[in-house]
């Protein structure tokens, strides 16, 4: 009698365990604040990037990014900074254990202060703006419950690039995330 009862309950227990596993994998994605350093592969430019998730779902999130990139001396000994910012959507997926893969697409704008020969002589600079789109692929490794190391490539495309920058800019990002 006990064996028959156990055999009847076994499928229900297995189904309850499967629901619990599904519930664990469907938890909302954590909201992250990320800060780190960026550089071009040839190290001709360097900068900093901040981003914050503001909306989080089960696998998708969205938020804001801000990036500042400084290219070395370009025009008459004056550096060429470029700041960009905008909105992004991201999809995160657990790969194995504490390792996560995150694909991200963003749109926004960029502003560049750059020097021309005439503006340097006059003691000023020229400012230009452009629309930008970006794609990023990040790998992160959890370091406990609140922090993670993150890194990966970012490709940014501008409709009118600033002097010293191409239409497409590839940077490598390495940073720290906090939940």
The pLDDT of residue 163 is 61
pLDDT tens digits, one per residue of 85-142: 999 999 999 899 899 999 999 999 998 876 556 555 555 566 778 899 999 999 999 9
Structure tokens at 13: 């227990």
Pick 2 or 164 by higher pLDDT: 164
177 close to 148: Cβ distance less than 8 angstroms = yes
| Angstrom distances, CA of residue 71 to CA of 20, 100, 147, 163 | 51, 31, 30, 10
Residues ≥6 apart with Cβ < 8 Å to 6:
none
pLDDT tens digits, one per residue of 44-82: 889 999 999 999 887 899 999 999 988 765 555 566 688
User: E strands within 25-98?
Assistant: 33-39, 45-56, 60-75, 78-96
- State the pTM of this model: 0.76
The pLDDT of residue 119 is 54
- Residue ranges and CATH numbers for the domains of the chain are 28-178 (2.40.160.20)
Secondary structure of residue 28 in the 3-state scheme: coil
The pLDDT of residue 154 is 97
Secondary structure of residue 118 in the 3-state scheme: helix
34 close to 150: Cβ distance less than 8 angstroms = yes
Phi, psi of 8 (to 5 degrees): -70, -35
The CA distance from 5 to 3, in Å, is 5
Residue keyed to tokens 């009118």: 160
């Amino acid at each position: 009698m006990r064996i028959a009862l156990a055999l009847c309950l076994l499928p229900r227990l297995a189904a309850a365990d499967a629901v619990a596993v599904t519930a664990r994998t469907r938890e909302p994605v954590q909201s992250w604040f990320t800060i780190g350093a960026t550089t071009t592969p040839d190290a001709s430019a360097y900068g900093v990037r901040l981003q914050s998730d503001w909306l989080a779902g089960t696998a998708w999130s969205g938020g804001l990014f801000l990036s500042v990139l400084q290219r070395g001396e370009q025009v008459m000994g004056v550096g060429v900074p470029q700041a960009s910012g905008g909105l992004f959507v991201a999809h995160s997926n657990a790969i194995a254990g504490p390792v996560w893969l995150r694909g991200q697409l963003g749109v926004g704008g960029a502003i560049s202060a750059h020097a021309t020969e005439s503006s340097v002589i006059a003691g000023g600079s020229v400012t230009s703006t452009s629309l930008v789109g970006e794609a990023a692929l990040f790998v992160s490794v959890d370091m406990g419950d609140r922090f993670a190391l993150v890194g990966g490539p970012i490709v940014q495309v501008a409709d009118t690039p600033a002097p010293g920058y191409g239409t497409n800019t590839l940077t490598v990002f390495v940073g720290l995330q906090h939940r």
